[in-house]
Amino acid sequence: MLIAGNWKMFKGPRETAEFCARFDPPPGVDVVLCPPFVSLQAGLASRLTVYAQNVHWDAEGAFTGEVSAEMLLELGVSGAIVGHSERRRYFGETDETTARRAAHALETGLRVIACVGETEAERDAGRTEEVLARQVEVLEPHERLIVAYEPVWAIGTGKTATPAQAQQAHAFIKGLIDARVLYGGSVKPENAEELLAEPDVNGALVGGASLDVDAFTEICRTATRIPS
């Protein structure tokens, strides 16, 4: 079971160090923190596993504002998120750029969490599986690739997929690619157990709740109680 905390644009180096000093992950669960780029070093100083929130598809070049997999590895970062819906919505990420980022990061030696998920309009139109197939089929299977199913309508909205909805989507994704699949979308201590208990849910990509050390710790503890 893998529990990853995506901090988005929260927690600079000082707050990251303070969080890590208080955070004591329980044994029996893999835990990853994904702080902003400026806070990666502070997270690494705690000896926790740290992923970046994005990574470029080239080793170097004239790409202002981007960071390469080679740079992340040199720093000691273990992996990266790619294709998050906020990157797709606000910064023009596409299925193609997500696949390129994932492929280079994996080739370079990073682990990757590739995010997929449908909008509320797409779900209401009965297009969930069509959208997931389009997003997943551009990804190449790899032992270090993890897929995160994050229904866009459940990110930052307080809405959460039901356990049955999550299980259905995860089973569909696993039918397309051999990979562990995490659930993301308003995961909280209150709903973590019922979501993580579904047979095809292999962990969670936690957003807002991962910013609170007590809430994130409780989600991690919940994961240890789920039979593997």
Catalogue the active-site residues. 84, 150
Run of H or E residues at 219? helix 213-224
Cα separation values, 107 from 100, 111, 147, 176, Å? 11, 9, 17, 21
Cα separation values, 182 from 2, 17, 37, 120, 154, Å? 8, 26, 22, 19, 14
- 3-state DSSP assignment of residue 124: helix
Tell me the two tokens of residue 154. 């459940």
Residue 196 near residue 166 (C-beta atoms within 8 A): no
